[in-house]
Structures are given as C-alpha cells and as structure tokens.
C-alpha cells in the first residue's frame, strides 16, 4: 500500500502555485501593455484596433522646452480624433543637435525631449511605436553608422555594410541597449518597463538592394530581434518594413521591383510580433494616373491582409500611407480617396476580428511648423474633408475596443470572482490531481 501522506501534504502546495499563476494572468490582462493574442492586439484584456499618426519630429521639437506645447497639442488633437497610436523616431545620429553624436555619446537635452514625448503620450493615452534607426540618410541613418566604423579603421564598401559588419552591429546594439534602459527623467520609469510604449521598430524601411535574395536583411533582423527581446519582454517588436515581397513574389511589388526585404520571411521570425506595411502609390507609380494608383493600392492592401491572415497569422499595421499635394494634378479628393481605401479595408478586416489592426497616416503636424511640411502633412485643427474622414473612420474603428471595455468594466468584479472561483474549484483541482497521478507513476504503484 502506497503511503499517501507525502502526496496529500503536497496537495495544498499545488493549489497555491496554480492559484498564484491564475492571479498573474488576471494582472497580465490589466498591465496596460499592448499584447498579442493570436492574430490580434489586446489592451487590458480587450481587442485593440486603432488608427494613429506619424510624427517623426516629436523628440527633436521637445528637446527645446519652449517648443514642447507643440508636442502637447499634437497628442491632444490626435486623441480628439480617436488616433490612439503614434509613431516617432528614437534616433538622430550624427550631425548638429543629434541624439547620438558619436557611438555611445548622447545629447542629454535631446534624450530629455524623448522623455517628455513619452510622458505626454502616457498622459493623453496614446501608445507609441519608437523607431531605432533610419535606412535613409535623414537623421543619420545606416550611412552614419558605417561612417563611424570607417573612422575607426574598418574597410567598408558601402552603407549596406550596416547589416553585416561586426563593429557597426555592435554600435547599433549599444544604441538599442541605451534606449531600452534609459530611465525617464520625468516619470522615473525605464523605457523597457513603460507601457506607454507599444512597440519597438528596428529600422525605418530597411532595404538592401545589393542582396535581393533577402538573406542579408533576414539575418540582420533575426540577430537584432533576438538581442532586443533578450532585454525587453514587455513590448512588441516589428521590423519597420514597407511590405515589399521577396524575389519569388516580386510581381506583387510596385513595378515588380525587389529591395532585399521580404514581407513574408522577415515577419515569420518568431521574435517579430506583427507586420507593417507602407503605401505610397504616388511615389511608387508616379508615371501612372490616379485611378491606376488606387487600383494598385487596393490590391496591395488586400494581398498583405490576406498573407498576414493565412501565412503569417500575425496582426498587420499599416504604419505609413499618404498622398502629397506637391504632385502634379493633385486635388484633395484624390487624397480622400486614398485615405478611404486604406481605412475601409482595415475596418472590413477589423469588424470580423481580422488581422488588420489600424492605419497611421503620414504625417501629423500642428500649427507653426511650416519648415516640416513635406506635402503629406495633415493639421488636425485645420478643417478639411480629409480631417473629417480621419476622425470619422478612427472613431468607428475604436468602437470595437471601447465596447469591449465598457462591457468589461460592468462585468469585471463579478467575472474576476468567478474566474478565481472556477480556476480554484476546477482547474486547480484538475491540475493538482494530475500532479498526484505523476507522483504515483514515479513510485511505480500505477500500471
């Protein structure tokens, strides 16, 4: 006869461990971080669908305390239009007034500007995507990193050595670590622990046309994604892709071009949490008329939603789109049509709990920022058909999240009690029973 006393003695221990796990899951649901559940974003236990905006200039402007009201205005105006996600730069490499003037040397005034951006976003309830480096030369980019390595004796052929040279990669890893472990001078919270940050973006629009096989960007993405995730398990991570397909599916790309990135392979890396897509048919198909550009856009969006759903099984966020008034023949109705195609495609997916989770237009400005105008800007306080469309579509998309939250608030106290009771009475006992069976088997008393 087996002595049951040691096993019975352990039974309460099993219950306690499992109860702690269950309570941790309840806390996880309300930790204010954006999470992934299947192919959806969730926030505090609710599905999170939201539109947003790009404002790359936030840190730069906020580095001057006298200009910080512009940052505050940007967030205030965004929230009024139900724009809940903001994408901005957490880099500025080399050159005057840079965040990082040389490898590992940082401008504290600029970093305090970013501190303020994160603080204000949190105050207004905006979730941030912070990009860590640029593919292009604006604000330094990968060319600046390569130049720093050359100055230290590295023999490098071109800027695409950014993806392969060991010294350059170590510079970038150091930047990742510096940003993630930065302690906000206003809130006192490390960036890697701050739920205001929704996600990290490795690079704005990575390209490597010298290697259309895609191996260079794939290997770099895998290495950097693993490195970042080893330090930060709280936040989501995305690559910063424009959505270009690899050589085997280049017919889906504008003009059948390849850029060394691969929407499928790059996003299949396990450490990458969601996919991103940019949409600029006025740039990519500048020799075609507006109707042809819209036809391409509709197919472009459809392909990426379909592939995210069936192949990647991950959320997809349309992180840049727009139309410039600087192009010949422009009129505002063309811009509105493009915005409508993007927003309506996202909403059709979202209303059936699909993978398209939102769209971020390029770019939001506020009054008094004429030097930042690039033709794509939207100023939300200036009435226009585009501003009305943004607000209307964004409020419609955010209803999914708000309805769930209202329902959750009314049911939360009772639901929490029921969950705890059911887990303890059912799940805990079943789990404990399974553990007892295992102990029996280990003692060889069951056949």
Residues 50 and 86 sit within 8 Å (Cβ to Cβ): no
Q: Which DSSP state fits 310?
A: I
How far is the C-alpha of 170 from the C-alpha of 173, rounded, in Å? 5
Q: Are strands 40-43 and 34-37 parallel, antiparallel or unpaired?
A: antiparallel
Distance CA 202, CA 142 (A): 12
Decide: residue 52, CB within 10 A, 0-12 exposed, 13-18 middle, 19+ buried.
buried
Structure token digits, residue 69: 């009201």
Residue-wise DSSP of 337-379:
HHHHHHHHHHHHHHTTT-SEEEEEES-EE-TT-GGG--S--EE
Tokens of 143: 């060319």
Q: Which residues contact 186 (CB under 8 A, 6 or more apart)?
A: 115, 116, 119
Which residues contact residue 243 at a Cβ distance below 8 angstroms, ignoring those fewer than 6 apart? Answer: 263, 275, 276, 277, 278, 279, 300, 304
The answer to whether the peptide bond before residue 65 is cis (omega within 30 degrees of 0) is no
Look up residue 440 and give its two tokens: 């029996």
Residues tagged active-site = 205, 320
Burial tier of 209 (Cβ tally within 10 Å: 0-12, 13-18, 19+):
exposed
User: Under a CB-based contact definition with an 8 Å cutoff, are residues 179 and 223 in contact?
Assistant: no
DSSP 172-194: HHHHHHHHHTPBPTTT--BGGG-
Beta carbons of 402 and 389 less than 8 angstroms apart: no
Q: CA distances (Å), 268 to each of 110, 220, 382, in order? A: 35, 14, 41
Residue at token pair 């969601």? 274
Rounded to an integer, what distance in angstroms lies between the CA atom of residue 436 and that of residue 14? 9
């Amino acid at each position: 006869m087996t002595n049951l006393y040691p096993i019975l003695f352990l039974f309460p221990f099993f219950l306690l461990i499992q109860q702690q796990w269950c309570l941790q899951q309840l806390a996880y649901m309300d930790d204010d971080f954006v999470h992934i559940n299947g192919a959806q974003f969730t926030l505090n236990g609710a599905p999170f669908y939201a539109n947003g905006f790009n404002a790359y200039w936030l840190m730069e402007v906020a580095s001057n305390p006298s200009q910080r009201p512009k940052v505050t205005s940007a967030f205030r105006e965004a929230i009024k239009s139900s724009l809940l996600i903001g994408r901005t730069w957490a880099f500025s490499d080399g050159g005057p007034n840079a965040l990082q003037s040389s490898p590992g040397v940082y401008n504290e005034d600029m970093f305090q500007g970013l501190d303020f951006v994160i603080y204000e976003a949190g105050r207004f309830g905006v979730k941030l995507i912070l990009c860590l480096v640029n593919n292009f030369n604006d604000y330094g980019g990968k060319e600046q990193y390569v130049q720093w390595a050359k100055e230290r004796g590295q023999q490098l052929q071109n800027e695409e050595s950014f993806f392969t040279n060991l010294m350059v990669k170590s510079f970038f890893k150091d930047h990742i670590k510096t940003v993630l472990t930065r302690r906000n001078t206003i809130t006192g919270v490390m960036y890697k622990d701050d739920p205001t940050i929704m996600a990290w973006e490795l690079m704005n629009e990575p390209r490597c046309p010298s290697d259309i096989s895609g191996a260079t960007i794939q290997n770099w993405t895998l290495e950097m994604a693993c490195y970042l995730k080893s330090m930060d398990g709280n936040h989501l991570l995305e690559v910063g892709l424009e959505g270009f397909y690899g050589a085997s599916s280049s017919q889906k790309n504008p003009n059948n071009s390849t850029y060394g990135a691969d929407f499928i392979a790059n996003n299949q890396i396990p450490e990458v949490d969601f996919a991103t897509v940019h949409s600029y048919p006025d740039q990519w198909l500048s020799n075609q008329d507006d109707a042809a550009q819209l036809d391409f856009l509709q197919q472009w969006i459809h392909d990426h939603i379909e592939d995210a759903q069936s192949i990647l099984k991950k959320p997809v966020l349309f992180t840049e789109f727009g139309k410039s008034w600087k192009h010949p023949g422009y009129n505002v109705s063309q811009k509105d049509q493009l915005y409508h195609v993007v927003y309506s495609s996202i909403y059709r997916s979202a209303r059936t709990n699909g993978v398209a989770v939102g769209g971020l237009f390029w770019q939001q400005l506020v009054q008094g920022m004429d030097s930042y105008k690039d033709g794509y800007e939207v100023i939300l306080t200036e009435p226009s058909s585009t501003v009305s469309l943004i607000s209307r579509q964004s409020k419609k998309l955010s209803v999914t999240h708000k309805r769930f939250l209202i329902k959750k608030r009314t049911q939360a106290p009772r639901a929490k009690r029921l969950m705890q009771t059911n887990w303890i009475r059912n799940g805990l006992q079943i789990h404990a029973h399974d553990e007892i069976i295992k102990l029996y088997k280990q003692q060889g008393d069951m056949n």
